């Protein structure tokens, strides 16, 4: 049976999304296996988390342009503006700030799903990926 375009897109989004978790998880392994490199590993994880928050904001930039909505354009830049100062904070504060950013994205994603701007499968994927991102950031505090 042939897959629909949406099924194909969802498959690739899931695959790419799960691959995108690698830079959240590998630093944790480094922290636990080679603690001497923990500081660098956590800095790398935090930089990646900030990039991903910016990327997630970009999704809503596209939604805003499609919907021709000034409100959503402003919402779309908030993840970047939230993540950027975290890169200047001590590691523990940065981890909490970044984890909070991913949690706040759940609110934006929920609203977008409710309004029909994103598909249900994408919302579920975002919940999974965001939960792993939050958990990995907070587990980095324990290292």
User: Within 13 Å and on the Cβ side, how many CA atoms surround 57?
Assistant: 20
- In the prediction, which pLDDT does 44 show? 97
**pLDDT tens-digit readout, 47-79:** 999 999 999 999 989 888 888 878 888 889 999
In angstroms, rounded to a whole number, what is the distance separating the alpha carbons of residues 81 and 70? 17
Q: How many CA atoms lie within 13 A of 73 on its CB side?
A: 6
Contact (CB, 8 A) for 113 and 123 = yes
Question: For 1-38, what is each residue's pLDDT tens digit?
Answer: 677 998 999 999 999 999 999 999 999 999 999 999 99
């Amino acid at each position: 049976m042939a897959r629909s375009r949406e099924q194909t897109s969802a498959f690739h989004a899931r695959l790419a999304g799960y691959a995108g978790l690698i830079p959240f998880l590998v630093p944790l392994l480094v922290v636990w296996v080679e603690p001497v490199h923990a500081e660098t590993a956590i800095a790398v994880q935090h930089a990646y988390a900030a990039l991903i928050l910016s990327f997630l904001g970009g999704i809503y930039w596209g939604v805003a342009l499609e919907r021709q909505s000034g409100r959503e354009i402003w919402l779309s830049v908030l993840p970047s503006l939230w993540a950027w100062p975290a890169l200047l904070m001590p590691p523990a504060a940065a981890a909490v700030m970044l984890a909070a950013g991913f949690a706040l994205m759940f609110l934006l994603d929920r609203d977008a799903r409710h309004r029909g701007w994103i598909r249900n499968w994408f919302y579920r994927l975002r919940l999974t990926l965001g939960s792993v991102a939050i958990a990995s950031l907070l587990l980095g505090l324990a290292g």
